[in-house]
Structure 1
Amino acid sequence: MPSTLKFLDLFAGAGGLSEGFIRAGFQPIAHVEADASACFTLKTRQAYHWLKNNNSIDVYVKYLQNELSRDELYNAVPTNEIDSVINAFIGAETLSEIFQKVDQQIGESKLDLIIGGPPCQAYSLIGRARGNMHDDPRNHLYKYYAEFLRRYKPKYFVFENVLGLLTARNPNGELYFDKMKSLFVEIGYTVEYRVLSANEYGVLQNRKRIILVGKKGHRSKKSFYPEPEKLITEACVWDLFSDLPKIQAGGGSTTPQRGRSEQSKCLKESGIASTLPLTWHQARPHSKQDLEIYKHAVNLWDTEKRRLHYDDLPEYLKSHKGRNSFVDRFKVVAGDLAACHTVVAHISKDGHHYIHPDIEQNRSITPREAARIQSFPDDYYFENVSGKPARTSAFKQIGNAVPVLLAQKIAEQLLRNW
């Protein structure tokens, strides 16, 4: 398989999609992302890959162990590796400048592929329920995605988004998805899409996403869609957590820790396992009331395999006014299931929807546990603007990401079709 195909990642987030394509053998030319914290995560990951490929991974380990500053880490790799991450909101005012920076990174090379998808909140059902969808400028970011296709003319592009995109309409009643597809066809691409379920590709999470793929040129009778090979494992969610140190609410650390036992087959085969120091296994603190509710939720699952309905709680634990909506606001990440419920960015707000399955630990899951659910490798470090660890930022980046393993399966099949 070719290993020098170059890609550009738009709306890159923390790099879940990019990481999957790198694993498959593609080479990133540049990443464009509006969130500054996510950009530092991408820069640190770029540094990791360069150091690993140049037999200098010990430098990265020293950084994880706080023996080097972030600037010292970045100074240890070529400048173009760090400069390949472009912190900018993609829009009419910034497009020209972003093009210039991407051009500098491409140099004399050719861009083979563009990946990425605009922020999904504007198309999500939750976003529409808030009533602000028509005024959201993110509805139109796909038009700028198309401008990158016009300029660089890659052979393929891979566009990812939420299922809500299939039904989201503009003020004229037209489907945004139809407008997108028509625009991509207009600029010279044939497009095909599928709804892919991450749990069918080795990810222990029920997460469905639209994956649209475009190919340069006119439609032929033969489908070109890179149907990824399905990978149904015998693992359960416990296999993602079983080796981690047992901690209580408020316990753990963002700095390196070692696992407490042998890692599961699932962790090794998925690429999550790493020999490098483990970071971000730090639990939120919780109130006594929340901890008591968590025990109710876990006990109900353990004894009856039943989810907690808010009205199931004793009256003295019911402090929320809204009792007819979001009745499953307290939800266990059930360890005995083959896939847990979807990890979303709301996990950065609180952990009530992501309660750890071990009643003895009695807490919500840590960023590292959430990252494992998203199939991020354990050597992936989530950054913050200040350089100091910020759990909220890490959770947000993880919740917004594309599962790495799903991205890898798509990329591997795209390479086979190339």
Structure 2
Amino acid sequence: MSKEFAIVDLFAGPGGLGEGFSRAGRNADTPMKIRLSVEMDDHAIHTLRLRAFLRSFDAFPKEYYDSLNAGRPLPDWSDLYPGNWKSALSEARQRVLGADGVFEELAFELDRVREDHHGDTILIGGPPCQAYSLVGRSRNKGKSDYIPEQDDRHYLYREYVRILDRLRPAAFVMENVKGMLSSKVDGGGIFSKVLEDLETAGDGYRLLPLARTAPADGSRAPARDFLIRTEEHGVPQARHRVIILGIRKDLCGGRTFEEPILGLPQKLVPVGKVLAGLWPLRSGLSKGDSAEAWQTALKAQASIIANLEEVPAQIREIAFAVAGTNDLPHLRASRWKEATNGMPEHLGNWFPDVRLKATVHHETRGHIPEDLGRYLFSAAFTSSLGKSPKLAEFPEQLKPRHRNRDSGDFADRFRTQAADRPATTVTSHISKDGHYFIHPDPMQCRSLTVREAARLQTFPDNYYFCGPRTKQYHQVGNAVPPYLAWQIAKAVQRLLG
């Protein structure tokens, strides 16, 4: 019987990395199973525990599907399956990595995992990225008292390194934002320090890029080679992230690589291919919502656009059609079972669950009437002209009345996800207002639902996010795409098997 690798997942979020590794670890010559995951967020930890509970069964329990298919709340698992639920609580721990005493508490668990599996362990995770992200750095520049060296978030990666040093796994995977490559602290680049700390942790590691060919002489790859463009690996989203794979030096031998570990780039997957099987919905109105009120408000906005001479003819034509149609969507939520027809084969096999007879998390937000017009214009502009409009390209009547709207800081205030190409990066900002994530269909005039965002992030359709809708969006935006994680896990299996 082949040996089983134990996975430790740090800064786990809702479990994107863990989902990919867990799925790859089932029915494999090199099995892998999560033994410990650590997350601080109050809602993500509930999602993480639920998924840990479900994975404790050979097949998800019937009661899970009964609840999702009927639209009922999930049952009390501690009452139905106390042993499995206790195991899930033990696996998924709510802890703040870096807080006093947390490492000491986890050290005992790390030692036990390593000893139980004779060193056959894998460490995964992505330290929080706010201090490295370009948006976060721009925001920090506006703070007169901000000192990078005093921002502890720059050094949270050291908690990852500290645990790496203690666990001494056979392999590790660390994920972070692209901005880490250019972030500077103490007058120097943070990334070179990160690589050095990872390389020398524990028994020493060889750091390998996943999407570029590793140097044949065993030297460290250039920093830019650790950047992965997810759209090149079957994910319907242009999410660019730094991902470092480390293999313990005693397991490397003289291995060389003739092509990238993840393989060559794949054909791009457009947004329209993964959203087409979900039921079309209307948005809501922030006040006085009803299907009739929404359609009246939308048609009024469409009529305004159709009669603006400065608007390109193709857009006015779409607006005119919306104003005159009686075929607008009338539902704000749908549990109609999703379809995967026409989807690329790899995702057509990835998303569905034959026991799931309904779509979950497919409900829309409410918007003010003026935003309906902006969404209609943006979606029509994108479908007609092939790009989402900048705020300066909106007609004056549709521009928001904010005092700072012309400052340049809000040029991409409204962004439609084009149906014919991968989405832009799904971020936690989707939890705010949805303006950056407008549905490509001009008839729907709304931001993406949680399920649609989860599709772009490649979460399986049976993945349930706990908490209120805003927190569900936040979890989806902060995650590593599980399909990418699955590919990385398969690569790790090949290297360790």
Greater relative contact order (CA < 8 Å, ≥ 6 in sequence): 1
Shift in CA distance, 261/162, structure 1 to aligned 2, threshold 3 Å: closer
Worse-matched range after superposition: 56-65 or 123-132: 56-65
- Aligned partners of 2:338, 2:180: CA distance in 1, in Å? 43
Check conservation: 1:47, 1:74, Cα contact below 8 A. no
- Aligned partners of 1:247, 1:12: CA distance in 2, in Å? 32
CA RMSD of aligned residues (A): 2.4
Q: Which structure has the greater CA radius of gyration?
A: 2
Shift in CA distance, 221/175, structure 1 to aligned 2, threshold 3 Å: farther
How is 1:216-227 mapped onto 2 (pairs within 5 angstroms)?
216-217=248-249, 222-223=255-256, 227=261
Q: Does 1:340 align with 2:423?
A: yes
Q: Does 1:208 align with 2:240?
A: yes
1:375-411: CA deviation from partner (whole Å, max 9, x where unpaired):
0000000012xxxxx1110111111111111111111
How is 1:17-416 mapped onto 2 (pairs within 5 angstroms)?
17-25=17-25, 26-51=32-57, 53=58, 55-64=59-68, 65-66=71-72, 68-71=74-77, 72=79, 75=82, 77-93=84-100, 94-102=102-110, 108-110=116-118, 111-131=120-140, 132=146, 133-170=148-185, 172-187=186-201, 188-193=204-209, 194-217=226-249, 222-223=255-256, 227-230=261-264, 232-233=266-267, 235-250=269-284, 252-253=332-333, 257-259=335-337, 261=339, 263-266=341-344, 268-275=347-354, 276=356, 277-318=358-399, 319-320=401-402, 321-323=404-406, 324-337=408-421, 339-384=422-467, 390-416=468-494
Aligned residues: 407
- Aligned partners of 2:227, 2:37: CA distance in 1, in Å? 25
Superposition deviation, residue 101 in structure 1: 4.6
- Aligned partners of 1:286, 1:73: CA distance in 2, in Å? 40
What is the TM-score of this pair, normalised by structure 2? 0.76
Shift in CA distance, 73/176, structure 1 to aligned 2, threshold 3 Å: farther
1:78-137: CA deviation from partner (whole Å, max 9, x where unpaired):
512232001011015121123335556677334511001101111111111122444321
What is the TM-score of this pair, normalised by structure 1? 0.90
Structure 1: gaps (5+ residues): 385-389
Give the secondary structure class of the aligned counterpart of 1:282.
Answer: coil
Superposition deviation, residue 265 in structure 1: 3.2
Shift in CA distance, 309/265, structure 1 to aligned 2, threshold 3 Å: closer
Worse-matched range after superposition: 17-26 or 261-270: 261-270
Check conservation: 1:47, 1:73, Cα contact below 8 A. no
Structure 2: gaps (5+ residues): 26-31, 141-145, 210-225, 285-330
Superposition deviation, residue 414 in structure 1: 1.2
Give the secondary structure class of the aligned counterpart of 1:407.
Answer: helix
